[in-house]
């Protein structure tokens, strides 16, 4: 009788030990090969921050919305647009130009030449080239030529804001993306649209 009980105890100790020790049937023990993904796809390396799929979704939505505005759709001629870097008020450091670059490219692709974007971020290089032309150092310029750099009909800019929470139950981030088309002459907001994305997640217990 005693022997049976002892065998049972020994067996239980062994089982408990091996059961605990064998909890290593982990995922991807040999890593994951490089996977090519679409930028609008959510990857397996994910956080609650601003990611490529958000950039693509937001930029495409904004580009469609801008094209539908009467100021663009019914414009006489091709309006000139200047991009101003977005204001980042979130808790995520970002490349501030990437949203507007993505919107510009989407507009240029979809608008079929309805608008012209002015390369204000390249003014240094443009001025240098103009000066070289005007001084006759390179071809194509006339001395004392009038200013040909175009002024903006519209300024496209945006703002990213967020509400973030974190506790033992995980992290949650709500990001509000707002974009505006401004009239630089009157400061009027001619168009505005927004997108919002909320994400939450919780890390494994070993990180909590």
Partner 1 sequence: MNKACQLAAVALLAAGCAAPEIKKAPAVSGDLVEEGRKLIAAASEKDKILWRYRVALVAMKAGRFTDARQLLDECLPTIGAILTADERTIKARSLFGNEAQKIYVGEPYEQAMAYFYRGLIYWMDGEPDNARACFKSAQLIDGDAKDKAFASDFALLDYLDGFATAKLLGDGSDMLRRARASAVSSKTNALTALPDYDRQANVLAFFQFGFGPLKHGGGRYGERLQYHVGHSAVHSVRFKIGEQTLHVSALDDLSFQATTRGGRLMDDILADKGSLKKPLEAIATIAPAAGAVLAGPKETRGTALPIIGAGVVAGAVSNAAEAMADTRTWNNLPQHLAFTAFRLPPGSHTAAMEFFDRDGKPLPKLTRSLTFEVRVGRDTVLFISDQ
Binders in 92-121 for partner 1, by CB under 8 A: 92-94, 96
Query: CA dist 202 to 46, 87, 158, Å?
Result: 11, 28, 30
Which lies closer to partner 1 via its Cβ, residue 12 or residue 105?
12
Three-class SS of 23-35:
CCCCCCCCCCCCC
Q: Closest Cα partner for 197 from 54, 92, 80, 91?
A: 54
201 Cβ contact partners less than 8 Å away, ≥ 6 residues apart: 46, 47, 48, 170, 171
Measured from the CB atom, the residue of 96 and 130 that comes closer to partner 1 is: 96
Cβ proximity to partner 1: between 122 and 208 the closer is 208
Contact 146, 180 (CB under 8 A): no
Segment near partner 1 (CB under 8 A); pick from 39-47, 102-110, 134-142, 144-152 = 39-47
- Chain centroid offset of residue 159 CA: 12
Residue from 56, 69, 91, 117 in contact with partner 1 (CB under 8 A)? 91
Tell me which of 2, 142, 143, 188 binds partner 1, using CB under 8 A: 2
Strand, helix or coil for residue 9: helix
Choosing from 37, 68, 73, 87, the residue that interacts with partner 1 (CB under 8 A) is: 87
Which of 63, 90, 115, 191 contacts partner 1 by CB under 8 A? 90
In the list 76, 167, 186, 187, the residue contacting partner 1 (rule: CB under 8 A) is: 167
Which residues have a Cβ under 8 Å from the Cβ of 143 and sit 6 or more positions away? 134, 135, 136
Residue closer to partner 1 by CB (options 78, 120) is: 120
Residues making contact with partner 1 (CB under 8 A): 2-3, 6-7, 9-10, 13-14, 16-17, 20-29, 45-49, 87-94, 96, 164-168, 170-171, 201-208
């Amino acid at each position: 009788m005693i022997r049976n009980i002892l065998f049972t105890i020994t067996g239980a100790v062994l089982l408990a030990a091996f059961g605990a020790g064998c909890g290593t049937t982990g995922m991807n023990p040999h890593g994951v090969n490089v996977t090519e993904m679409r930028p609008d796809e959510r990857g397996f390396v994910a956080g609650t921050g601003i990611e490529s799929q958000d950039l693509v979704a937001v930029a495409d939505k904004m580009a469609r919305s801008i094209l539908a505005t009467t100021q663009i759709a019914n414009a006489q001629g091709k309006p000139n647009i200047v991009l101003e870097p977005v204001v980042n008020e979130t808790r995520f450091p970002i490349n501030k130009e990437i949203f507007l670059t993505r919107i510009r490219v989407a507009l240029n692709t979809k608008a079929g030449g309805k608008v012209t974007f002015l390369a204000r971020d390249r003014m240094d290089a443009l001025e240098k080239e103009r000066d070289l032309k005007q001084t006759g150092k390179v071809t194509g310029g006339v001395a004392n030529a009038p200013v040909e750099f175009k002024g903006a009909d519209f300024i496209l800019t945006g703002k990213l804001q967020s509400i973030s929470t974190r506790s033992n139950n995980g992290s949650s981030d709500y990001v509000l993306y707002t974009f505006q088309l401004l009239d630089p002459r009157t400061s009027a907001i001619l168009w505005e649209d927004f997108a919002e994305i909320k994400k939450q997640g919780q890390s494994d217990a070993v990180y909590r």
